[in-house]
Amino acid sequence: MRYFLFLFALLANLSCVSINQDKDFSEKGRHNRFISMVRPVLPKRLSSAYYHTLYDDTRAGGDCQPLCPQVEIWQYQYLGHVSPAPISTQKAFWKNPSEARVIAFSLFGKNPIYYKGLLDFLKSFQTLKRVNNITDPVWGFDSFTPRVYVPKGKDRVIEGELDAYQLKELLDAGCEIVFVDNGLNKAGKDATFWRFMVAAEPMPEGQKIRYLLRDADWVMTGAEAFAVGEWMASSLRYHRSHLVSICLGPLTASFWGGSHTGKGDFVDLKDFISFFPYRMKYGDDEMFLRDAIWPKMKASGSVMTHITQRNWISTLMNPYEGSCEEPTKRYCNAINPDNQCEDIELPSDMDFPQGKLFHRGTLADLEKTPDYFDMKLTTPRGQKVNQAFMVR
């Protein structure tokens, strides 16, 4: 009987999750009731993601007003230099002659998973080169500077600061360290917002920055690198990766990037963050991206979205109708009819270990399967990716 009721509820819900081609894009899509049934048995991380304002969190007035955490960036350190302004994006420090390139992370707290995960992330660049037989001394993500936003009080100690040896190890690994004082005694989930500030970094006239946003406890595999390379080979300004079959919102906080010359689209980003009332819970950063960043990206009309093949599971697990805003062009078109937005599906034979990555598998574990790092550079699409990653 229980099985029959579950099956009935499932079939009833499936009739509600299809996308209406004539949908009013100004309204949130129909709620997916199936999620309420399966959330109790989902892994803790995924369950927390669903029980959030992106889906059905019950918070109303925010959790930090009127004194939301600030984002006071007061010092940068890089290659022996110390400055109150960004260092790695000054032209003298570019690793590619055409543009500044940065991968931005937030790192805070004492959980070793994140610190060790970041070191794994950096090492994965060399794994990509080795598996794909790249001998160029500077290729691919070597041309990006890892930038790590960390908590550090100007005249006091903030709970969650990194140890001195950790900072030194990251500096020695070629990272740019950014000290942030949030005005609180502790760096909590609000620190996940700090990495977004790279999108607001002004560049001198005629100079360009390209940036990626990533989680510290991640590994760069071949499929993701392939997607980034295809974006770099294009003229589109923004990139989002929907490579995981389950997609909760239009932007995943650790899976997007952009580029701009001059001031870019997000000159007021610091104020947007400072006055955003949801800053303290897991997933608040993605709600912020949905509400503050994604609309401007769509309005630019210049977004490339990489996806894996969608199936009934993808549809079933969307928290509400249209939650991921795919296909991209339809949603861009609602704001900018002259858009150039597009969706690109990864090659069907390219392995993306989304399950292992979701459960935060280590680099050593992933390296046991070299196919996870194969970028298919000998294929026609792969040759263009290879060209995009070369530094001349």
Per-residue pLDDT of 283-328, as tens digits, reads 889 989 999 999 999 999 999 999 988 887 777 888 888 888 999 9
Pairing of strands 100-106, 256-261: unpaired
Low-confidence ranges of the chain (pLDDT < 70): 1-29, 53-58
User: 28-87 pLDDT, tens per residue?
Assistant: 567 787 887 888 888 777 777 777 756 666 677 778 777 788 899 999 999 999 999 999
Contact 132, 77 (CB under 8 A): no
Number of neighbouring beta carbons within 10 Å of residue 8: 10
Q: What is the DSSP letter of 280?
A: S
Alpha carbon distance 29, 27 (integer Å): 6
The gap from C-alpha 220 to its chain's centroid, in whole angstroms, comes to 12
- Do the domain assignments include residue 5? no
3-state secondary structure of 39: helix
Alpha carbon distance 215, 196 (integer Å): 12
Closest CA to 78 of 177, 189, 5, 224: 177
Range of the domain at 100: 44-389
- Do the domain assignments include residue 29? no
How many structural domains comprise the chain? 1
pLDDT at 11: 45
- Do the domain assignments include residue 30? no
Alpha carbon distance 363, 131 (integer Å): 13
Contact 347, 57 (CB under 8 A): no
Judge if pTM exceeds 0.85: yes
- Do the domain assignments include residue 36? no
- Burial class from Cβ neighbours inside 10 Å (0-12, 13-18, 19+) for residue 349 reads exposed
pLDDT at 266: 97
Q: What is the DSSP letter of 50?
A: H
Contact 230, 385 (CB under 8 A): yes
pLDDT at 21: 41
Using CA of residue 46, residue 125, residue 80, residue 207, what is the dihedral sign?
negative
Closest CA to 180 of 106, 67, 71, 103: 71
- Do the domain assignments include residue 8? no
- Do the domain assignments include residue 139? yes
- Do the domain assignments include residue 2? no
pLDDT at 28: 56
